[in-house]
Structure 1
Amino acid sequence: MRASRLVSLLLLLQTKGRMTAQALADELEVSVRTIYRDVESLHAAGVPLYGDAGPGGGYQLLDGYRTRLTGLTEQEAESLFLAGLPGPAADLGLGAAVSAAHLKLMAALPSPMRDRAARMATRFHLDAPAWYYDPERSPFLELVADAVWQARLLEVSYRRWQAPEEVTRVLRPLGLVLKAGRWYLVALGSTRISTYRVTQIQAARVLDDTFDRPADFDLAAHWAAALEDFQSRQHTGTAVLRLSPRGLESFSSNVLPVVARAAEESAVPDGGWTRVTIPIESVGHAAGMLLRMGAEVEVLEPLELRERVSSVVRELSALYAPGGATGVC
């Protein structure tokens, strides 16, 4: 384990440059004291590693030093084949590069490891799009990806849901995110960082001007925070429900994870059923969601939601009552 950590520490410094002991400790999930001991061990092994004190200090490898550590463990080789997503790579125009890298990696591996890694492709398949949704295609995805990679300004004509529906903007593209088969562009506009659905881009042009990315911008962290903020703004009210045993069992498959978690955390027994409190977007949206569960759920609060569900049930009853149907079979 320690030998593996020393290799990881060395590769981190090689790829990221100067890093503080605290940053290395965070990356490797160990204490700062452990990093100090590891650095001493690397020094003793002849690795040209030096450190500077002070606010701008940290550990750094001597300029020009490159490790020749190229070995892969069996699990590392297998994970590389599992991590490849050929569909999204092809969408970004990298399909040929991924195939070439795959072949080179296979050729470089020893025979036993090659066999184990190849099995990954035959036994595991990653399908990014959600059920009932086809992956979205955009004629501008490769162009947008190129602007992201080259850090060039991007002029887009974008269609949105609010007025004015079509706007033209010059963006600083910071990253692309694939979520459930849909590509999203995270970009800095004139004042703030926003998210744009790539299929809603009606026209795009990469400009000659480059831009400096915010030094502290972390795409994964930004996306996680944006999702959390979206969900908190999306649910503006609450509802109190009673769920039958069958309704409780199937509830999580009919709602978003955040709603399912709220139901689980608030559940209390109620006469053989279970009473829960959940967040809702709106009365209309909640009514449609709960009606899918039929008689396995009863709305207690708010009164407006209870009346909306009751109204729909009465309309359905009238429609399906004898003589109530208007169609001809």
Structure 2
Amino acid sequence: MRASRLLSVLLLLQNRGRMTAEELAEELEVSVRTVYRDIEALSTAGVPVYADRGRSGGYRLVAGYRTKLTGFTEEEAQALALTGLPDAAAELGLGGVLAAARLKLLAALPEDLRSRAGRLTERFFVDIPGWFRDVESPPLLAALAHAVWENNRIRVGYRRWDNSEVTRTLEPLGLILKAGNWYLAARRNGADRTYRVSRIFGLEELPEPFERPAGFDLAGYWQQWSERFERRLYPSVALVRLSPRGRDLVPFYLGAVGARALRESGGEVDEDGWSRVELPVEPGAPALGELLRFGPELQVLAPDELRARVAEAVAKMGAAYG
């Protein structure tokens, strides 16, 4: 553990130049006193690190010194796939591994490329979750990730959508982060299924490994599952008229599903500037709520039952406001 931290101190100084003890301590998540001991250990080992005194001081390496200790461990090489997703890496128990891999990668670059890489992180940032929601932090996520890595069967307690609880023995195939939510792709009784990780309340990693299906493509599986999920979630279609303002609101109120419907509608506009669009809607009461959000910018044309329900709701709202 300490040897890995000493290497991290060395690579930080090599990549960033002068750093204070406080900056090193914050980066490595250790105390300032630990940094002092690590710097002393590096000096004793012959690394030419020295301290600049004063308000703008700090530790740095002798100009021109570069270490060649940049070989990747197996875990670090795997963690590079999560570059750009540090929060996700941390949730999977790979935060420290990813940080070490990134340092080694930067240390191995020539000076001009390392400078370009630094400028890139200063100018671009990827924020995965949607507005007003955080990434889930399921307590069993790291344990699930371990089972996925090791191809070990697991026995889990799972809380279904109706709040009933079941026990399942699964072959975990992969983890997916979607809009801040974690999902587990797993095989059960020969069929591939998807489980919301936050609904798993108990986990036992079984000693016997399983044979991963040949040719299983996690990204392809997720795309197919997502399309099936969307069809189940939006089984009905409503024919509506939309004002220009209403068209602009569709992606915000109905998300990617609504935006896709707009693109496929052809965009024909009548003499009033309104257009007819077939929008996918949820069944029952959710469809009514979704369409009422548009206010006067949307008019339901069909089906007749949904049009009548919207008209009734609008009449009641008008009566409530006198």
TM-score, normalising length from structure 2?
0.71
Q: Across the two proteins, how many residue pairs are aligned to each other?
A: 242
Q: CA deviation at 1:146?
A: 0.3
Shift of the 226–172 alpha-carbon distance from structure 1 to 2, 3 Å rule, reads same
Partners of 1:81 and 1:117 within 8 A in 2: no
The equivalent residue for 2:120 is 120
The equivalent residue for 1:251 is 250
Q: CA deviation at 1:82?
A: 9.6
Partners of 1:82 and 1:124 within 8 A in 2: no
Q: Distance in 1 between matches of 2:216 and 2:268?
A: 43
The equivalent residue for 1:43 is none
Q: Distance in 2 between matches of 1:252 and 1:232?
A: 17
Q: CA deviation at 1:217?
A: 0.9
Counterpart amino acid of residue 119 in structure 1: R
Q: What SS does structure 2 have at the residue aligned with 1:254?
A: helix
Shift of the 84–245 alpha-carbon distance from structure 1 to 2, 3 Å rule, reads closer
Q: Return 5+ residue gaps in structure 2 as ranges.
A: 1-69, 71-79
The equivalent residue for 1:319 is 320
Q: CA deviation at 1:186?
A: 0.3
TM-score, normalising length from structure 1?
0.70
The equivalent residue for 1:167 is 166
The equivalent residue for 1:221 is 220
Pairwise mapping of residues 97-108 of structure 1 onto structure 2 (< 5 A)?
A: 97-108=97-108
Q: CA deviation at 1:207?
A: 0.8
The equivalent residue for 2:304 is 303
Q: Distance in 2 between matches of 1:211 and 1:185?
A: 16
1:139-161 Cα shifts (integer Å, max 9, x gaps)? 10000000000000111000011
Counterpart amino acid of residue 312 in structure 2: S
The equivalent residue for 2:66 is none
Shift of the 310–135 alpha-carbon distance from structure 1 to 2, 3 Å rule, reads same
Q: CA deviation at 1:179?
A: 0.6
Pairwise mapping of residues 200-215 of structure 1 onto structure 2 (< 5 A)?
A: 200-215=199-214
Q: Distance in 1 between matches of 2:82 and 2:94?
A: 17
Q: CA deviation at 1:240?
A: 0.8
The equivalent residue for 1:88 is 88
1:293-327 Cα shifts (integer Å, max 9, x gaps)? 11011001111111221222222222222xxxxxx
1:171-218 Cα shifts (integer Å, max 9, x gaps)? 000000111111110000123111011110011111111100011211
1:26-53 Cα shifts (integer Å, max 9, x gaps)? xxxxxxxxxxxxxxxxxxxxxxxxxxxx
C-alpha RMSD of matched pairs (Å):
1.9
Pairwise mapping of residues 23-42 of structure 1 onto structure 2 (< 5 A)?
A: none
Q: What SS does structure 1 have at the residue aligned with 2:320?
A: helix
Counterpart amino acid of residue 129 in structure 2: P
The equivalent residue for 2:135 is 135
Q: What SS does structure 1 have at the residue aligned with 2:269?
A: strand
The equivalent residue for 2:238 is 239
Q: What SS does structure 1 have at the residue aligned with 2:254?
A: coil
* Matching of residue 192 in structure 1 with residue 191 in structure 2: yes
Q: Distance in 2 between matches of 1:277 and 1:106?
A: 51
Counterpart amino acid of residue 275 in structure 2: T
Q: What SS does structure 2 have at the residue aligned with 1:136?
A: coil
Q: CA deviation at 1:81?
A: 10
Q: Distance in 1 between matches of 2:103 and 2:251?
A: 42
Q: Return 5+ residue gaps in structure 1 as ranges.
A: 1-69, 71-79, 322-329
1:71-100 Cα shifts (integer Å, max 9, x gaps)? xxxxxxxxx799421100000000110111
Q: Distance in 2 between matches of 1:146 and 1:251?
A: 41
Q: CA deviation at 1:223?
A: 0.7
The equivalent residue for 1:280 is 281
Identity of aligned residues (%): 48
Partners of 2:82 and 2:98 within 8 A in 1: no
Q: Distance in 2 between matches of 1:260 and 1:97?
A: 39
Q: What SS does structure 2 have at the residue aligned with 1:249?
A: helix
Q: What SS does structure 2 have at the residue aligned with 1:253?
A: helix
Partners of 1:81 and 1:120 within 8 A in 2: no
